[in-house]
Amino acid sequence: MEDREEYVRYQQDRIVLAAIGAHLDPQIGKIRVRLPRSVAESAVAAWDRDELGTVGEESRAEYELREDAAELAFIGLEISSSGVWDGEEVVVDLDVVHVAAALRAAR
C-alpha cells in the first residue's frame, strides 16, 4: 500500500473501528430471528453442500460473492444445530456478524 495521505487516515480509521468493535463485542452476541422455511431450508442446503473445487485467482466481485455464499452456509449451520421449527418458520439465534452479512446482501 502506498503511503498516500488518505490511506494513512484510512488505516487510523480502521484502528478506531476495531476499538469500537472491541467494546461492542462483549455487549452484542446473538440475535433471535424468525426466518421463512424456504430461505431457511436453502441456508441449510448451502451448509450441507460440499465445495470440492479449489479457489484460484478471483476478481473482487467473485471474492465477495463467495464470501456471501459462506455467510449463508454459516447461517445454515446455526439453523441445523439450534434452529427450532415453528410451522413455516424457523426461530434461531444468529451471531450479529451473520445478521449483518445478510442485511448487507439485501442492500
- Following DSSP, what letter does each residue of 43-93 receive, concatenated? HHHHHH----SPP-S--HHHHHHHHHHHHHHHHHHHHHHH-EEETTEEEEE
For residue 58, what are the contacts with CB-CB under 8 A and spacing of at least 6? 66
Summarize the confidence of residues 19-48 as an average pLDDT: 95
Q: Count CA within 13 A, CB hemisphere, residue 62.
A: 5
| pLDDT (tens digit per residue) in 63-84 | 999 999 999 999 999 999 999 9
Q: Domain map of the chain by residue range?
A: 29-106
pLDDT band at 55 (very low <50, low <70, confident <90, very high): confident
Beta bridge partners of 94: 31
pLDDT at 4: 85
pLDDT at 44: 98
Summarize the confidence of residues 26-39 as an average pLDDT: 95
